[in-house]
Amino acid sequence: MTRAAFLVLTALADQPRHGYGILHETEELSDGEVRLGVGTLYGVLDRLTADGLIALDREEVLQGRLRRYHRITDEGVDALVAEADRMAAGAGAARRRLAEGRRAPGSVTPPATGPGLAAGPA
C-alpha cells in the first residue's frame, strides 16, 4: 500500500470526508510532510474505490459546487489495520536491530562528522 493510500484511508477512518477535507487531513496526519496534489488524490480515490476499500458516501452542493464525500468500507478498515500492523512490526524489527547493534561485542560507533566536527582524534 502506498503512503498516500495509507494516509487517505486513515483520514477516512473516523468519518466520511470530501476531497478538500481529505487533503487537509493527510497533510495533518503526516505533520505537513505529505501534501497530495488534487490529481494524485483523485487517482488514489479511484484506486481505493476500484479495490472496494472506500465508497461514495454522499454528494452535496455547497455554494454551487458539488462535494463528493467518501467513506471507508469494512474491507478498507481491514486493509488499514493490516497495513498499520505491518508497519508497526517493521518499525519494531528496526528498533530491535538498532538496539542489538549498539550492544554487539566489538561493535564500533562511527565517529560523528558534520559541520564543525572532524572525524578522528581531536
Question: 20-58: per-residue pLDDT in tens?
Answer: 999 999 999 999 999 999 999 999 999 999 999 999 999
- Give the pLDDT band (50/70/90) at residue 122: very low
Cβ atoms of 9 and 76 closer than 8 Å: yes
Whether 84 shows a pLDDT value over 80: the answer reads: yes
CA distances from 49 to 6, 16, 44, 93 (A): 14, 14, 8, 32
Report the range of poorest mean pLDDT among 2-11, 16-25, 109-118: 109-118
| DSSP state letter for 110 | P
Amino acid 20: pLDDT = 94
And the C-alpha cell for 28? 495533518
Which burial class, exposed, middle or buried, applies to 54 when counting CB atoms under 10 A from its CB (0-12, 13-18, 19+)? buried
